[in-house]
């Protein structure tokens, strides 16, 4: 069993939608209990700011959302509360050193991230606030434009747009602070701007290979090479839309997941492959839908020919001194 780091889940929002506050044994794909059972090393818990007219995951109408600042506080306070209650299982982490030290004590780690930087609203003081609250990675956009830039899109005019002036300035501050720049959901033009302006490695927390699944959310081979050359990693997303070889297919099969990891390994090398399941943020049928089922994927990858060193790097990066997870505060 490989102890892995997962760079993205939407469990904080999913728990709220279910009318619960328990992150230990909820009804979703991810939970603290399942992390314990799977011997999962670390989970990046995202605060996702859904559009106000977006239905809940089960299709039900979502209750009216509070302002973003208040919504952020609700989700993060619940995470800290649940971690404190289950301190014999999990602890908060704000750096790779924290993750390693927690694991040495027999504890999994929770890292706080943000999906969609809209809460920043073009104000640098809000970026500083997120850092002070423990946020260590920010996906600059979701599926709509904001103060950082523009989203992935089937429309070339939008897809080719880059970062805003504020977005460029914010990249520099994120590099200085030690907040990972996350390009998942970002436009191709925005990706290229991050490549140009970021002086530190960046991540695609939950993105796959466009060569295998031609979705705008996935990375081209050129992007994978650029990401790898910058010292970054891309997290394997389990969502059927980003995994299946055909648009008509709706099942996220373990075989397809393994194919994406293998392709990224061949294109970008062993230091750019990572995990970013998107658990509790995706629908459809997933052959692997819980942490306790992850051995299926590692077994398939081993059969494909991945070495134990490569599997360790894919799982948690502890075999490389240069992995991007080393998000030490500056």
Domain boundaries, the chain: 5-315
Quick one: pLDDT band at residue 165, thresholds 50, 70, 90? very high
Of 13-27, 36-50, 197-211, 251-265, give the lowest mean pLDDT range. Answer: 13-27
CATH of domain 5-315: 3.20.20.140
What b/e string do you get for 288-321 counting C-beta neighbours within 10 Å, with b at 16 or more?
bbbbbebeebbebbeeeebeeebbbbbbbbbbbe
Which pLDDT belongs to residue 59?
61
Quick one: pLDDT band at residue 329, thresholds 50, 70, 90? very low
Across residues 104-122, what is the average pLDDT? 98
Which pLDDT belongs to residue 321?
40
Q: Please state, in angstroms and as integers, the Cα–Cα distance from residue 80 to each residue in 73, 89, 103, 158, 316, following that order.
A: 10, 13, 18, 37, 23
pLDDT digits (tens, 9 = 90+) for 193-248: 999 999 999 999 999 999 999 999 999 999 999 999 999 999 999 999 999 998 77
**Percent with pLDDT over 90 in the chain:** 86
DSSP 109-148: EEEEEEE-GGGGTT-HHHHHHHHHTTEEEEES-SSS--SS
- Please name which of 135, 324, 110, 311 lies closest in space to residue 233, comparing C-alpha atoms: 324
Q: What is the pTM (predicted TM-score) of this model?
A: 0.95
pLDDT digits (tens, 9 = 90+) for 257-306: 999 999 999 999 999 999 999 999 998 899 999 999 999 999 999 999 99
Continuous H helices in 105-240: 124-132, 156-159, 165-177, 188-197, 221-229
Quick one: pLDDT band at residue 57, thresholds 50, 70, 90? low
Across residues 104-133, what is the average pLDDT? 98
- Give me the residues paired with residue 115 across strands: 48, 139
pLDDT at 327 over 60: no
Which pLDDT belongs to residue 247?
76
Q: Which burial class, exposed, middle or buried, applies to 195 when counting CB atoms under 10 A from its CB (0-12, 13-18, 19+)?
A: middle
Which pLDDT belongs to residue 325?
55
Which pLDDT belongs to residue 269?
97
């Amino acid at each position: 069993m490989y102890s892995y780091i997962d760079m993205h889940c939407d469990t904080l929002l999913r728990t709220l939608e279910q009318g619960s506050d328990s992150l230990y044994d909820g009804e979703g794909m991810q939970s603290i209990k399942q992390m314990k059972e799977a011997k999962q090393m670390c989970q990046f818990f995202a605060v996702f700011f859904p559009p106000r007219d977006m239905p809940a995951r089960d299709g039900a109408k979502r209750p009216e959302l509070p302002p973003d600042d208040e919504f952020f506080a609700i989700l993060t306070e619940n995470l800290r509360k649940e971690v404190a209650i289950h301190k014999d299982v999990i602890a908060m982490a704000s750096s790779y050193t924290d993750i390693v030290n927690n694991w040495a004590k027999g504890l999994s780690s929770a890292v706080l991230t943000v999906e969609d930087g809209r809460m920043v609203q073009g104000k640098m003081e809000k970026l500083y606030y997120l850092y002070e609250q423990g946020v260590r990675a920010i996906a600059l956009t979701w599926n709509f434009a904001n103060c950082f830039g523009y989203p992935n899109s089937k429309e070339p005019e939008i897809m080719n747009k880059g970062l805003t002036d504020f977005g460029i300035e914010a990249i520099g501050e994120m590099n200085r602070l030690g907040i990972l720049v996350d390009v998942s959901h970002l436009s191709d033009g925005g990706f290229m701007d991050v490549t140009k302006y970021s002086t530190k490695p960046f991540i695609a927390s939950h993105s796959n290979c466009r060569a295998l699944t031609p979705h705008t959310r996935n990375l081209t081979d050129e992007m994978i090479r650029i990401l790898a050359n910058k010292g970054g990693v891309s997290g394997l997303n389990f969502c059927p839309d980003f995994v299946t070889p055909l648009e008509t297919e709706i099942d996220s099969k373990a075989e397809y997941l393994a194919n994406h990891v293998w392709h990224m390994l061949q294109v970008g090398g062993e230091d750019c492959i990572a995990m970013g399941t998107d658990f509790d943020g995706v629908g459809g049928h997933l052959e692997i839908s819980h942490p306790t089922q992850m051995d299926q994927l590692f077994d398939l990858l081993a059969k494909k020919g991945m070495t134990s060193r490569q599997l360790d790097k894919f799982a948690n990066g502890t075999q490389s001194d240069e992995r991007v997870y080393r998000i030490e505060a500056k």
